[in-house]
Amino acid sequence: MSNKAELLVINPTNGVVSRQIQCPTQVVCLHVSPSHVLSGSSDGLLRTHDLRAPTKRNSTSEHIVKAHQGSVQAIESSGNWIYSIGWSSLNGRPIPDPVVKIFDSRNLKLASSFNFAAGPSFLNVHPVKSTTLVLTSNSGVVNIVDVLNPSLGEFHQLDVASYLTSSAISPNAGYISFGDAEGIIHVLTASENDAEPFNGFEGRPVEWADEPAEPPEITWTDETPLNLIGMPYYSDYLLSSYDKGFQSVPEYYPPPMKIPPQVLASLRQVEGVSFAQLPRELQGKRNVISIPPPKKQGRFRSEKSRRAGGSPPPESPYDVQSGDSAPRHYQRNEIEYSKFGVEDFDFAFYNKTSFSGLETHILNSYTNALIQAMHYVLPIRQIAKSHITTSCSREYCLLCELGFVMRMLEDAKGINCQATNFCKTIPNIHSAATYDVIDYGRETHTVNYGAKIQFFNRFIVENIKVEGNIEPSNPSLAPFRQGIFQDKTPSPLSQLLSIESKSVITCTYCRNSNEKPDSSHIIDLTYPRKIPTNEASQYSDFASILRNSLIRDYSQKATCQSCKQVAVQNIRRSLTPELLPPILLLNTSIHNDEQLKLWQDSKNGRFLQPFVGVDIATSPSQLGGLSSTLVDVSAGLVWYELRSMVIDVKGSDQSSHLVCIAKVPEVERNRAEKYSWYLFNDFTVRGISEEDALSFPGRWKVPAVLYYERVDMQDGLDFSGLPMTQDPSILSQDISLSVVRDPSRKVHELLQLDELPKPGTIVAIDAEFVQMQLEETEVFGDGTRRILRPARLGLARVSVLRGSGPKEGVPFIDDYIHTSEEIVNYLSEFSGIHYGDLSPQMSAHTLVPLKVAYKKLRLLIDLGCIFVGHGLAKDFRIINIFVPPEQVIDTVDVYFIPERQRRISLRFLTWFVLEQEIQQDEHDSIEDARSALLLYKAFQAMEEAHTFDDKLEEIYRAGRENNWKPPSAAKASPPPMHATPGVPYSTFFPRPFSPTFPVDALANHFQGFTLDPPFRQQFVPVAPEVAAFSMPYTPPRTPSHHHSGRRSQGQRPR
């Protein structure tokens, strides 16, 4: 930049000025983006200069936009976004413009903006998170904010004696430094390491190693024990540290090994000596010692602090995989229960990927594998996700529940989920008992889950194709198949799965042939029959078996319609390549060892390949060794790609459990993921190789269900006709099943159309539950107990309140949930639910089906609402819905010191912080949600006044003194708000209150609002500018504050 208001472009190689750009006003800042040079001038204009293009005559820039009223202070860019801060004027005096503006570099139009009330003076872009900015005022206020969600920012106050003059951020984003006018450097850091990675003016002295101690002198005699010498420190297994598998009992007389039953069956005895030939299946490695796997350690979150210093135990080096036993990652994993319940189980220990698993402590959870298999078939997922946006009137709809589960799996990104509502819906479908798909919780070794999941596969397809049928409004997903379905468009699922063909029936007596239409969605594989040795062998490769199963050539005795004779009739399906569907769904139908042996690996290679080619007209062929690209194939040959499959894993005790192996689509795989195939073993998820996925090394691995996608139709499906957004009017509809609803008991006000939530809208939520199933425990002789299955709770009531606006604190959802299941305990003391409240014939409240309440919550999540509540993790878990962590503000975590390991109840917090008594008789979800909202407002006020840390310490002291329970009004009164020494009322409230009115903490936020009994207090309305002082700041961790190279006392991490 020069003083003559021009830009000079200098060649760094030879120092020659290659271009001069005239500027009308003085340029105060420059920034180089990947495609342009950005300049900000003193007149508030932002200009872009493209140095790659030739200079136009009389042109000073490519684009110009008025960014600020005064001068531009700083410019930064990230991707296609340009960020700018500048100056404005107030009463003729320049002040920092509080508005941070975001422009699109492609057209230099204003894309968005947000406020920084302290006035930004410095602007830095986060080097790791491209949408995160670090804004700093000259007074030391630092705001770390995501421009996509500016309401959830982190605020920090630097301890500066003067004004700031500069700021910078390290390349790894671990440190942010600031310089002030006194020459002092301040550093903010989020690093968990106490040691600074730099030397300041006060370097730390070198810490030398301790001198080794001299070994003690040992007087050796014949009686000196050898263990006096001691052992050095070691981290690997020692040879002398014998594994338990090598130790026999008793030690000196080990019992002989048991003779296998196969050997005893062929035993012969000659002259008193018994001998037998070693069967073929027992031949192989004999010098491998088989040891039982070590007992799994409990994996609980509450024990993480005890395990933090050590590393996980290594797998046994002697764990040799045999062809008759499943590898460890295929074996069943059970959820262990601590005293804190299933919420304490560390599911993250079993899943290090970005793909979520499903939990198992639920009846009918054997369907987890099939849900995962269908989830990664993207066309089926699209149909399920679209269906939940429609106004489906069925109370029990499998397609709705499948869509809800798939939304959770899609949003969770590796966090464990559960299909509770889906599994609970299965017994309520009238045809479930006919298909024998209901799991009654029997012992696993008595249930053949491989056959059961194939029945369930047919059951769910038959149901969801009907549930998704909205004829005559069905959209056409496959226009190229429209002529196959004649004059009507079937349901979306039928367009993907159905094989519309004709069966040709030929009479062997009169040779007359006739045709009849045939439609099928699932193909049961048929295998070649066992033939005598004098006959020619049949094809036994997978492509041949698939082709024969599609054609389905068989014979049966029946009366011929032409000759009226009872004769053998040959039946064959007539197919053409155009009739084959986009998704081919197969049941393997393995019923004996000969059929299973076809799938097992042999010296000729694998039976199953990632692609299979089917030629209906001629002989089949099979493709192996290709990855994901296919060359052009001959006419009539249709290629299918294996997408997912359900595997039945057999245990050594003949027990059975199901896993899913899926090839995750490329659009969902992270570039850092090195695997394309993943194993979903309930809540255990891990990447596996293609060889591991497609091989069948032993009898323990039995395929059950396979999903194939047709290669030439993957990009030809059209989902634009499917609805993908839910109608928000459901939040304004008064829906109730109760026939005796009492209007006077209705306490909620429905949202008006102008009140519909927007991204960032704060709502308060609480739910109540009833017990649907008792806890199943096993009691041992020593009195100890083991939880086999935890108690199952069901949603009984959910209340959602407005979190801002003129009706702040007023509920707009207060739904009681209808259930047809038996309730074993209403838990009235903790839920406020009584007998008859959930019955349409007896309830005086607003009673809705579970799906209606669920769709309301699902809509609020999709609209971007932020949920405030107390203990929301458990509530959302029982509701069976996943809410992104960035949309949850849980006061149980806000008022929590991790070092104390004690979470505080809502009742105690409300008594201490808000000076209110709640939950005296029974719980009320509206009262609890409102208390959580007030606690969050109190937190914001105390955080703004920088008194929250002191108040939190005071809460913990009072909790220990009162045993974490609020004393009754007769024994003690709530502590005054000024209990903290030196903290006045103004710390918690925006202005002093009149002593003539009853004051409740932050009650002025609720203008003219009246609390429910027994806390009915009318509050004084306040001015809107006083009531709106909240600061949405809930950081998970506050960075420590460095001052001039030395660590000073910063805020405690929360």
How far apart CA 645 and CA 259 sit, in angstroms, is 37
Question: Model confidence at 636, in pLDDT bands (50, 70, 90)?
Answer: low
In terms of DSSP bridges, do strands 847-849 and 811-818 run parallel, antiparallel, or are they unpaired? parallel
Residue 515 vs residue 783, higher pLDDT: 515
* The pLDDT of residue 1049: 34
Whether 946 has a pLDDT exceeding 80, the answer reads yes
Asked whether the CA dihedral 95, 99, 102, 107 is positive or negative, the reply is negative
Query: Per DSSP, what are the bridge partners of residue 678?
Result: 662, 687
Question: Model confidence at 671, in pLDDT bands (50, 70, 90)?
Answer: low
Nearest by Cα to 642 from 659, 665, 673, 674: 665
Whether 223 has a pLDDT exceeding 90, the answer reads no
Output the CA angle 639-645-648, nearest 5 degrees: 145
Question: Under a CB-based contact definition with an 8 Å cutoff, are residues 365 and 423 in contact?
Answer: yes
How far apart CA 512 and CA 555 sit, in angstroms, is 15
Residue 271 vs residue 293, higher pLDDT: 271
* The pLDDT of residue 1052: 33
Nearest by Cα to 436 from 422, 457, 455: 455
Whether 60 has a pLDDT exceeding 80, the answer reads no
Question: Model confidence at 286, in pLDDT bands (50, 70, 90)?
Answer: low
Least-confidence region, from 51-60, 387-396, 725-734: 51-60
The torsion angle over the Cα atoms of residues 624, 627, 629 and 632, rounded to 10 degrees, is: -10
How far apart CA 172 and CA 153 sit, in angstroms, is 20
Query: What residues contact 859, with CB distance under 8 A and at least 6 apart?
Result: 726, 728, 730, 731
Q: Helix 398-412 to helix 378-387 angle, to the nearest 10 degrees?
A: 110
How far apart CA 851 and CA 856 sit, in angstroms, is 9
Cα separations in angstroms, 1004 against 51, 567, 980, 1032:
57, 90, 22, 18
How far apart CA 51 and CA 768 sit, in angstroms, is 64
Query: Per DSSP, what are the bridge partners of residue 1041?
Result: 188
Nearest by Cα to 944 from 1034, 1039, 856: 1034
* The pLDDT of residue 154: 85
Whether 97 has a pLDDT exceeding 70, the answer reads yes
What ranges do the domains of the chain cover? 6-189, 349-501+577-719, 728-1027
Output the CA angle 40-43-47, nearest 5 degrees: 35
Whether 285 has a pLDDT exceeding 70, the answer reads no
Q: Which CATH number fits domain 6-189: 2.130.10.10, 2.40.50.100, 3.20.20.80, 3.40.50.300?
A: 2.130.10.10
* The pLDDT of residue 974: 45
* The pLDDT of residue 648: 94
How far apart CA 66 and CA 726 sit, in angstroms, is 39
Whether 803 has a pLDDT exceeding 50, the answer reads yes
How far apart CA 907 and CA 892 sit, in angstroms, is 11
How far apart CA 341 and CA 336 sit, in angstroms, is 9
Whether 1017 has a pLDDT exceeding 70, the answer reads no
* The pLDDT of residue 56: 56
DSSP secondary structure letter of residue 382: H
* The pLDDT of residue 954: 93
* The pLDDT of residue 37: 86
How far apart CA 55 and CA 42 sit, in angstroms, is 23
Whether 1053 has a pLDDT exceeding 60, the answer reads no
Whole-angstrom Cα Rg for the chain: 36
Question: Under a CB-based contact definition with an 8 Å cutoff, are residues 563 and 507 in contact?
Answer: yes
Within 10 angstroms of residue 792's Cβ, the number of other Cβ atoms is: 20
Residue 325 vs residue 389, higher pLDDT: 389
* The pLDDT of residue 635: 53
Within 10 angstroms of residue 274's Cβ, the number of other Cβ atoms is: 11
DSSP secondary structure letter of residue 878: H
What beta strand segments (E) does 866-995 contain? Answer: 866-869, 888-890
How far apart CA 680 and CA 703 sit, in angstroms, is 14
Question: Model confidence at 537, in pLDDT bands (50, 70, 90)?
Answer: low
Cα separations in angstroms, 145 against 126, 253, 458, 624:
10, 71, 50, 51
What beta strand segments (E) does 297-450 contain? Answer: none
* The pLDDT of residue 945: 93
pLDDT in tens, 694-708: 999 888 999 999 999
Asked whether the CA dihedral 226, 227, 229, 235 is positive or negative, the reply is positive
Residue 380 vs residue 104, higher pLDDT: 380
Query: What residues contact 176, with CB distance under 8 A and at least 6 apart?
Result: 124, 134, 142, 167, 168, 169, 170, 187, 188, 189, 1039
Helix, coil or strand: residue 569: strand
How far apart CA 987 and CA 982 sit, in angstroms, is 10
Q: What is the mean pLDDT of the chain?
A: 79
- Token pair listed for 980: 């903290």
Q: Which CATH number fits domain 728-1027: 3.40.50.620, 3.40.50.970, 3.30.420.10, 3.30.460.80?
A: 3.30.420.10
Question: Model confidence at 244, in pLDDT bands (50, 70, 90)?
Answer: low
Whether 1 has a pLDDT exceeding 80, the answer reads no
- Token pair listed for 649: 């894993």
Output the DSSP codes for 171-233: TTSSEEEEEETTS-EEEEE----SS-SS--SSPPPP-PPPPPPPPPP----TT--GGGS----
Nearest by Cα to 793 from 765, 817, 825: 825
How far apart CA 816 and CA 1048 sit, in angstroms, is 52
How far apart CA 824 and CA 770 sit, in angstroms, is 8
Q: Which H/E stretch holds residue 939?
A: helix 925-945
Question: Under a CB-based contact definition with an 8 Å cutoff, are residues 136 and 74 in contact?
Answer: no
pLDDT in tens, 779-798: 877 777 777 777 889 999 99
Question: Model confidence at 1037, in pLDDT bands (50, 70, 90)?
Answer: very low
Residue count of the chain: 1054
Whether 561 has a pLDDT exceeding 60, the answer reads yes
Query: What φ, ψ does residue 878 adopt, rounded to 5°?
Result: -70, -35
Residue 613 vs residue 540, higher pLDDT: 613
DSSP secondary structure letter of residue 1041: E
Q: Which H/E stretch holds residue 548?
A: helix 542-551
Least-confidence region, from 3-7, 713-717, 790-794, 905-909: 3-7
How far apart CA 317 and CA 313 sit, in angstroms, is 12
Helix, coil or strand: residue 892: helix
Least-confidence region, from 55-59, 352-356, 787-791: 55-59
Nearest by Cα to 465 from 357, 384, 572, 583: 384
Least-confidence region, from 299-303, 462-466, 592-596: 299-303
Helices (H), 398-534: 398-412, 420-425, 432-435, 449-467, 492-497
* The pLDDT of residue 463: 94
pLDDT in tens, 324-341: 678 888 988 887 766 666
* The pLDDT of residue 160: 87
Question: Under a CB-based contact definition with an 8 Å cutoff, are residues 398 and 431 in contact?
Answer: no
Nearest by Cα to 468 from 453, 490, 450, 447: 490
- Token pair listed for 648: 């039945």
Helix, coil or strand: residue 885: helix
The three-state (H, E, C) secondary structure of 588-615, written as one string: CCCCCHHHHHHHCCECCECCCCCEEEEE
Query: Per DSSP, what are the bridge partners of residue 794?
Result: 770
pLDDT in tens, 967-1012: 863 344 444 433 333 333 333 333 333 333 333 333 333 333 333 3
- Token pair listed for 294: 């070590």
In terms of DSSP bridges, do strands 677-681 and 684-688 run parallel, antiparallel, or are they unpaired? antiparallel
DSSP secondary structure letter of residue 239: T
User: Which CATH superfamily, name and number, covers 349-501+577-719?
Assistant: Cysteine proteinases (3.90.70.10)
Nearest by Cα to 504 from 496, 495, 513, 494: 513
pLDDT in tens, 569-585: 888 887 888 888 999 99
Average pLDDT over residues 244-252: 53
Output the CA angle 614-618-619, nearest 5 degrees: 65
Q: What share of the chain is helix, strand, coil (3-state, %, to 5)?
A: 25, 25, 50
How far apart CA 416 and CA 418 sit, in angstroms, is 7
